[in-house]
């Protein structure tokens, strides 16, 4: 029998970020993945998380506001806009990036990218650096290279 503090189901960005966070907090973690490769959709995504009001924007002299991010998301999501999800995301995305970066865990390159749809409510320039590029990882890593 395996004893652990936290069981994470799925090894994509969401699961592994939660796993890393739990480990940083000193907890034992077990990540369960149903396929023989880890990474999920995340492994073949563009790898540029969209994070409004992030600290890198401030470092390069760009300002961003919660309201501008909401405006952009309303324009892009339309009827799929969900207040609770958006507010939770805006509360947590920037602190998450800082949390990982402070521990050198985000493998982020210092190359910010612009919003995908600049014409939809972010044409004021604030959307120029909300996305972050992430350094590539080994694509062929299998679950036997399990994360400890
Ligand atoms: C081509 C492409 C490009 C993209 N580019 C970007 C981008 O540039 N920026 C961006 O922010 N987003 C991008 N996305 C979207 C992004 O990839 C996803 O939103 C993100 O990867 C979702 O992460 P996740 O951890 O929720 O899910 P996933 O990465 O899919 O991880 C879920 C994992 O859970 C596993 N799983 C599911 N059910 C079970 C179970 N019952 N037991 C065990 N394991 C289970 C799956 O096998 C999988 O490994 C892109 C998507 C695609 C397809």
- pLDDT of 102: 80
53 alpha carbon – ligand 1 mean position (Å): 23
Helix (H) or strand (E) holding 69: helix 66-77
Q: Which atom of ligand 1 is nearest to the CA of 49?
A: 11
Output the pTM of the full model: 0.81
Report yes or no: 127 and 118 within 8 Å, Cβ to Cβ. Answer: yes
- pLDDT of 147: 46
Range scoring the smallest mean pLDDT among 21-25, 58-62, 96-100: 58-62
44 alpha carbon – ligand 1 mean position (Å): 8
Return the structure tokens found at 8: 């994470």
- pLDDT tens digits for range 39-93: 999 888 877 888 899 888 888 888 889 999 999 899 989 999 999 999 999 999 9
- pLDDT of 43: 86
12 contacts: CB under 8 Å, gap ≥ 6: 39, 40, 41, 42, 43
Which sequence spans correspond to the domains of the chain? 1-45, 47-136
124 alpha carbon – ligand 1 mean position (Å): 30
């Amino acid at each position: 029998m395996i004893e652990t503090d936290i069981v994470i189901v799925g090894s994509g960005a969401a699961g592994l970020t939660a796993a890393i966070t739990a480990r940083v907090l000193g907890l034992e973690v077990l990540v369960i993945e149903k396929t023989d490769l880890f990474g999920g959709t995340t492994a073949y995504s563009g790898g540029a998380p969209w994070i409004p009001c992030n600290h890198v924007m401030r470092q390069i002299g760009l300002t961003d506001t919660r309201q501008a991010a909401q405006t952009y998301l309303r324009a892009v999501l339309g009827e799929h806009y969900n207040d609770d999800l958006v507010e939770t995301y805006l509360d947590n995305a920037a602190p998450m990036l800082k949390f990982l970066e402070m521990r050198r865990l985000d493998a982020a390159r210092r190359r910010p990218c612009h919003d995908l749809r600049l014409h939809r409510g972010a044409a004021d320039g604030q959307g120029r650096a909300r996305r972050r590029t992430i350094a590539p990882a080994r694509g062929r890593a299998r679950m036997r290279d399990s994360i400890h």
